Amino acid sequence: ETGVTQTPRHLVMGMTNKKSLKCEQHLGHNAMYWYKQSAKKPLELMFVYNFKEQTENNSVPSRFSPECPNSSHLFLHLHTLQPEDSALYLCASSQEKLAGFPDTQYFGPGTRLTVL
Amino acid sequence: AQTVTQSQPEMSVQEAETVTLSCTYDTSESDYYLFWYKQPPSRQMILVIRQEAYKQQNATENRFSVNFQKAAKSFSLKISDSQLGDAAMYFCAYTRDSNYQLIWGAGTKLIIKP
């Protein structure tokens, strides 16, 4: 595998289910991101992890719970979601440059989530 | 607040011709990065080109080039010799500092006519 991979590619779940999205990066990066992409809206940054530490949480509801066990893996745990949470969830990674300025973000193919 | 505006929801161009996608942004920062990303129907977001704000020279990647006008806060993307594979959503994005947050535009859908 190369680049950034995400599983599953498609997920349908009920409002009472618990599921997890997985992201893995094979680029040796140290920062990872979760984004939500809804139709006709700009990408919304959800979470940022840098060296496994969460550095950003953009007021995301607690029904979304991220986990970053190491610099290569990122999970998004989902529980009691709402239909409006249906969207494409994108994972990205980047390498922090000198002086703390982030480098280009590389994206996975996304997980298309449908909440019934 | 920092914003990125892509005023063209959709653009179409004849194959082999040139098209320019517009992007404007609002910031009070002097040092930042600008990006164009492409998202084809397969959904994989792919970096097209990036520009450092401190560089006056416009970035170029093969058939893709930008017109960066810092004073006007404008960052347009020019695609020369358009190909069918260029059909995609194109997103302009901006990042200002070390908080890792990219600010995204709403995207422009580019249609290539054969």
Tell me which of A58 and A115 has the higher pLDDT.
Answer: A115
Asked if residue A100 has pLDDT above 60, the reply is no
- Mark which residues 15-74 of A lie under 8 Å from B by CB: 31, 33, 40-43, 45, 48, 50, 55-56, 58
Number of Cβ atoms within 10 Å of the Cβ of A116:
10
Q: Read off the amino acid at residue A105.
A: Q
Of A59, A110, A70, which is closest to residue B101 (Cα–Cα)?
A59
C-alpha A24/C-alpha A78 separation (Å) is 18
pLDDT digits (tens, 9 = 90+) for B57-105: 899 999 999 999 999 999 999 999 999 999 999 999 988 765 567 889 9
B30 touches chain A (CB under 8 A): no
Q: How many CB pairs under 8 A join A and B?
A: 58
CA distance B48 to chain A (A): 11
- The terminus-to-terminus CA distance of chain B in angstroms comes to 41
Q: What is the mean pLDDT of chain A?
A: 89
Percent of chain B surpassing pLDDT 90: 73
Residue B78, judged by CB atoms within 10 A of its CB (0-12, 13-18, 19+), counts as: middle
Dihedral sign computed on CA atoms, order A49, A78, A21, B108: negative
Tell me what pLDDT residue B29 has: 82
Q: How many residues does chain B have?
A: 114
Q: Which residue of B has its CA nearest to A100?
A: B98
Spatial contact of A24 and A73, defined as CB atoms under 8 Å apart: yes
B100 and A31 within 8 Å at the Cβ level: the answer is yes
For an interface test with A, which of B43, B51, B97 has the most A Cβ atoms less than 10 Å from its Cβ?
B43
The C-alpha of B84 sits at a distance from chain A's nearest C-alpha, in angstroms, of 21
Q: Tell me: pLDDT of A98 over 60.
A: no
Find the range with the poorest average confidence among A17-21, A98-102, B14-18: A98-102
